[in-house]
Amino acid sequence: MSFRFIDLFAGIGGFHGALSALGGECVYASEIDRAAARIYARNWGFIPDGDITLSANETTMNVPEHDVLVGGFPCQPFSKSGKQKGMDEARGTLFWNIAKIIEVRQPRIVLLENVRNISGPRHVHEWEVIIETLRLLGYRVSSKPLVVSPHRIHPNFGGRPQVRERVFIAATRTGELGNLIGKEPALPNIEKFHQNWNIQSWSLEKDLPIDSKMTPANKKLVTLAETEKLWIEAWDEFVQLFKAAHPGQNLPGFPLWADEWVASGDLKIPNGTPAWKANFLRKNAEFYTENKKIISKWKKKYSNLEEFPPSRRKLEWQAQDAKSLHETVMHFRPSGIRAKKATYVPALVAITQTTILGKQARRISTREGARLQGLPEWFDFLDQPQSTTFKQLGNGVNIGAVYNVMKALVMRDLDLLGSNSGLVKSILGAPNDPSEYLSSYQIPTNSMARKVVQAGVGPREFEKNSKFHRVVK
């Protein structure tokens, strides 16, 4: 291996997959969730440490030397007392522990990932503290957020059909400790990985790909409940009625709220109604007035939707000219049933909002969810519940996104890293698509981590039997 990396807040190992494919060797990982750590150990052959605050603090540094630090860190509110910023202000948060590792170990590259809101208006202060801290520690880092989503990355570079906008904080050590406040570098340029790709070109059947055959046990896990099938069939019948009445016309793009369908002349909007809601109420009233005949017929057949939960009496049509709900992908959301074209899917979240494949009339499987995150086919979730697996996938990082951000960061900072260094040669010489490496990745058969999980221990036993809170020398 050409460089060493540490994997903080590691989850099930999205960063590990990307950095391994770039030629790196993991020398330390931390993950406090026992179930996720067990899956990490099973698949990457490395047992994560537990609580990072016990291994990296004011008096202890049990994190080994490394070249690259990566992590999808939790964002916590920082103190706003006075005008002081930097490490002292981050004290008591998990970012402070990251900063402490950086201060002591001085890795050449730091790559952190978080949800898009980390750079939004609600977290302005936290964002400023993070950027200023890294600059005080001597790192070149842009104060602008680098927003990356796998659905925008060309499949030849490891893109996947999932909208997953995440902010990356990409920093490289300069050696100018404490002298970089106010210096504003360009963001790493990821346009190369977007070129010649139209996001409407994704096809879930081909690019995910969707499983055509499933075992009876797996099929049972993704089968829709009878009530869910009823909601889909009812709304699909509505789509057919509308399209028959309006040939060549698409359903409107605003949310259809069956509970608010009244004639325009009867519409009464209470005082204090937010402007956005008042606008939707007017549009729904106009829609009802224009389509009263088919709506009345449809609602009568389904007993005015009285047995439908409130959120299932709403339809958000984002599928443009699709002829049927069975041509779309759907999500059962608190705001309604959302339908869109079967190109790319929204970000993986909890199982209750897992993507529903209209043509297959089922939810996506955990294997398909793993593919959306760029995990290889051999990746194993052992015997844990499906809900736990989807939680882990929903909390994970996409391998292709990390892989290409690392390449772009190295290209930006060749002047600091040196074009002839082993780290640079390894990363820039890696295949275009990380799956080329990961498809044949093999865990050492004598790995202690592999032996532990092959013994069949559960997450609680895993903590007890695997030196989960081990001390790194």
- Known catalytic residues are 75
Distance CA 101, CA 112 (A): 13
Closest by CA position to 27, among listed 9, 5, 3: 5
Handedness of CA 158, 163, 164, 167 (dihedral sign): positive
Residue 260 in tokens: 């608010």
**Euclidean distance between CA atoms 11 and 31, whole angstroms:** 6
How far apart (Å, rounded) are the C-alpha atoms in residues 67 and 74? 22
Tokens of 13: 């190992």
Return the SS3 of 200.
helix
**Tokens 């900063």 map to which residue?**
99
Kindly state the tokens that stand for 91: 């004290």
Write the CB contacts of 11 (distance below 8 Å, at least 6 apart in sequence): 31, 33, 36, 40, 72, 392, 395, 396, 397
What is the distance, to the nearest Å, from the Cα of residue 285 to the centroid of all Cα atoms in its chain? 37
Give the residue carrying structure tokens 């903590």. 463
Q: Cβ neighbours of residue 212 under 8 Å, at least 6 residues apart?
A: none
Cis? peptide before 209, omega within 30° of 0: yes
Give the orientation angle of helix 275-290 with respect to helix 292-301, to 10 degrees. 90
- Please compute, for residue 314, the number of CA atoms within 13 A of its CA located in the half-sphere on the CB side: 18
Tell me how many degrees the CA angle 154-159-161 measures, rounded to the nearest 5: 105
Cβ contact 101:29 at 8 Å: no
